Amino acid sequence: MTRPDVTVTVIVHDDAARLPRAVDSVRAQTHANIEIVISDDHSTDDTPAVARRLAAQDHRVRVIRLPENSGGCSAPRNRAIEIARAPYLMFLDSDDELPPRAVEVLLAAHREREVDFAMGAVRRVRADNGRRSTWMPHLVTEHRTLEGIEEDPRLLFEHLATSKMYARAFLDRHRLRFPEGIHYEDQLFSAQAYCLAKAFTIVPDPVYVWYIEPFAAADSASISNQRHRLSNVRDRVRVQRLIDEFLLSSGHAGLREDKDYKFLKHDFRMYAGDLPYRDEEWLASFAGIVNPYLDTLSPGAYGRLPRAERVVLELLRQGRTDDVRVAARGLGHGVAPRRVTTDGTGVPYWGDIPPAAERARRELDLSELELDTRPFPTAQFRHEITELTHGPGTVLTLAVRTYDPGLRLPVGPQRASLLLTPGRRRMTVPFRLDPVRPGVFAGTVRLDLAAASLPVQGFDGVRHPVLRLDQQGLSNSAPLLAPPDFPRHTLRVHHHEVTTEPEPRVPGRLQLRWRPVGLTARVLRPVARRAARPRVRNAARLVASALR
């Protein structure tokens, strides 16, 4: 039997429905001399039968089955490494795919020059709406070969093991295997690979298709989407400590600040946006797990973060869980704090009490936000819905409170508008904000969803209303934060079901979701989709040209 050039391992557990798609994407590779190992982590559904059928269809497919479920990705990958026959190895999860040229382009990088692994771009696809994006695109913009991770420590952010093709000799030489019995195994494995590799090549071509299911049920969600579990937090912190130990023991301690920054900016940031939705008991437990580790991180790593994220971290380290919920809402969208206070030097700090400790003064200092001086269109305000009621009919009534900690708005009533664009035309609903006290305003806006101008074929998607303030010919638009716990409500509007709900992920805005039903869904949208096809559009242009 001819020795394969590359072994692609497809790991699977109770995923009979999607396994054929993953394996077919490997079978369809432009480089055909490959071995496909299906490594079944002791599935209890029809996966074993599906795997056997796939092996019967293609002699390149082999199947192994673990005697008991390992509960993670490491063991099935490691068992496959043991039996792999090729000099180069790749890994694929059963719910993802390989683009047709993935093996070809990565193998070409290995054959171009001797490297320990080659890596490429990861294309992310939202399973709910098909939206595509590239994972960490700034890291894979050009073809380049690096002689060590120190040449670009930013690559620590690209910790996926599945975006790479490894030389088998490299893995064996360093006895590099996936850590078993712990989640986030890719992070440790990839950190070790980056540090141990004498050279590795990056190609800009897409080599992996990663399907994201942000709204999957908790019991079936990916590990990254199980952030509500405290065991998930413990695993993530434990892996970080293992990486720290490896950096020190392998002579790469100089990477510690870059690695700490990656943890704060990526790993912790994934939890930060969820904090407003957690109860007091969960937050206390979360702080108990995370804070001891936060105390070990480099001050330089904190200094590289945006101010809003530094504030959340400091409040958590102080145990101010109520304030953490407030500060974490609107992260990444330029949302102002509710209040600021100053000390004797005039420095503005987050909250209503000037901090006493040196670290707190450093982390809660909001001077760089220029709350009282930046141009009005980019000034930071905070708009919160304090009450939301439905009815009559298609009307949604919102009680809004606006916080102006920089005192940018003049005393007296303010002109405001609610902006919403579910179709081609912007829907503008003017209302008034009245002063409550210095820096705080309140008002009520009545939104009739039936007044929205929708396309003929309807609208299928999500929109987040924004609040606009007008002052002396200038305008400022900012997110409208929703109460984290208001109940979801669905009503019928013009052949659509419109659901109002708090945004299920950060930053906690009011979310309106349109779904066409009836005639619009059955007839108008299918016709519009057919008309949008390139061939139909071109034919229409030809007809129009002939008529002219």
Q: Is residue 547 part of a domain?
A: no
Residue 85 sits in the same domain as residue 199? yes
Residue 496 sits in the same domain as residue 347? no
pLDDT at 421: 92
| 114's tokens | 């001797």
Could you tell me the CATH number of the domain that includes residue 65? 3.90.550.10
Domain boundary among 183, 212, 241: 212
Q: Is residue 419 part of a domain?
A: yes
Q: φ and ψ at 61, to 5 degrees?
A: -95, 130
HSE-CB at 233 with a 13 A cutoff on CA atoms is: 24
pLDDT at 536: 41
Residue 291 sits in the same domain as residue 188? no
| 495's tokens | 């052949």
Residue 310 sits in the same domain as residue 411? no
Q: Is residue 526 part of a domain?
A: no
Residue 393 sits in the same domain as residue 501? yes
pLDDT at 505: 67
CA angle centred on 95, ends 116 and 166, rounded to 5°: 5
Domain boundary among 189, 212, 235: 212
DSSP assignment of 389-441 equals EE-STTEEEEEEEEE-TT--SPSS-EEEEEEE-SSSS-EEEEEEEEEEETTEE
Residue 193 sits in the same domain as residue 289? no
Q: Is residue 333 part of a domain?
A: yes
Chain-centre distance for alpha carbon 271: 11
| 469's tokens | 């303030």
pLDDT at 385: 96
Q: Is residue 44 part of a domain?
A: yes
pLDDT at 219: 46
Residue 254 sits in the same domain as residue 353? yes
Cα distance between residue 142 and residue 119, in whole Å: 12
pLDDT at 264: 98
Strand ranges, E, within 195-312: 200-212
Residues 55, 63 contacting (CB under 8 angstroms):
yes
Residue 406 sits in the same domain as residue 268? no
Residue 104 sits in the same domain as residue 196? yes
Cα distance between residue 311 and residue 328, in whole Å: 9
229 Cβ neighbours under 8 A, 6+ residues apart: none
> CA 132 → CA 28, 103, 209, 237, 504, distances in Å?
21, 21, 10, 30, 20
pLDDT at 225: 58
Residue 430 sits in the same domain as residue 501? yes
Domain span holding position 491? 377-516
pLDDT at 548: 40
Residue-wise pLDDT tens for the chain (548 aa)? 689 999 999 999 999 999 999 999 999 999 999 999 999 999 999 999 999 999 999 999 999 999 999 989 999 999 999 999 999 999 999 999 999 999 999 999 999 999 999 999 999 998 877 889 999 999 999 999 999 999 999 999 999 999 999 999 999 999 999 999 888 899 999 999 999 999 999 999 999 999 998 655 444 445 555 778 899 999 999 999 999 999 999 999 999 999 999 999 999 999 998 999 899 999 999 999 999 999 999 999 999 999 999 999 999 999 999 999 999 998 989 999 999 999 888 999 999 999 999 999 999 999 999 999 999 999 999 999 999 999 889 999 999 999 999 999 999 999 999 999 998 789 999 999 999 999 999 999 999 999 998 888 888 889 999 999 999 999 999 999 998 888 899 999 988 999 999 887 666 899 999 999 988 888 776 877 666 555 544 544 454 454 34
Where on the phi/psi map is residue 276: left (φ > 0), alpha (ψ -120 to 50), or beta? alpha
Cα distance between residue 420 and residue 466, in whole Å: 7
Q: Is residue 505 part of a domain?
A: yes
The structural domain count of the chain equals 3
CA angle centred on 442, ends 440 and 447, rounded to 5°: 145
**pTM of this prediction?**
0.88
What is the crossing angle of helices 321-328 and 307-317, to 10°?
A: 160
Chain-centre distance for alpha carbon 132: 13
Q: Is residue 195 part of a domain?
A: yes
pLDDT at 547: 38
Domain boundary among 212, 247, 279: 212
Could you tell me the CATH number of the domain that includes residue 466? 2.60.40
pLDDT at 130: 83
Q: Is residue 53 part of a domain?
A: yes
Residue 357 sits in the same domain as residue 390? no
Residue 150 sits in the same domain as residue 255? no
